[in-house]
Amino acid sequence: MSDSSALSSVSSTQMDYMKLLVTELQNQNPLEPMDNSEMASQLAQFSQLQQLESLNSNFAQVLATTERAYAGSLIGKEISFVTQTSDAPQEVTTGIVREVYHNVDGEIMLSVGDFAIGLDDVLAVKD
């Protein structure tokens, strides 16, 4: 998730919360208005939600960077992975990683011989 999409998500969440709060205040019983401590509690929960969204976004960015670095470190190394052709059962294949790239879905792929292997499909790595 990019910084702009994280910010738009937070802004959208803030706007949704503010609309809900205004609607709640407009429709409350005038003889029994919302308790200040209840409103403060809701604001604190909203603040926690914002912080969790920000933390999740930052963690996703760190994870993506770590995966890219790990994939890059596999270039020139021998990996093992499972292959299956239409006329043969599954078998473990090994090969040297020649290239690392992203497919159209953004998934990290490894080029090994004639195979394109997803990073999650690597079974073992040798120097």
Q: Where are the domains of the chain?
A: 3-71, 75-126
3 state DSSP class of 105: coil
What does the pLDDT look like over 56-111, one tens digit per residue? 989 999 999 999 999 999 999 999 999 877 777 888 999 999 999 999 998 999 99
Spatial distance between the Cα atoms of 5 and 102, rounded to a whole number of angstroms: 21
Going by their DSSP bridges, the two strands 122-126 and 78-83 should be labelled as antiparallel
pLDDT band at 9 (very low <50, low <70, confident <90, very high): low
pTM of the model: 0.64
Tokens of 86: 């239409």
Tell me the C-alpha to C-alpha distance, in Å, between residue 17 and each of 9, 28, 101.
12, 16, 40
3 state DSSP class of 16: helix
Beta-sheet strands, E only, within 1-127: 78-83, 91-102, 108-112, 115-118, 122-126
- Domain 75-126 coded CATH 1.10.1070: no
DSSP state of 115: E
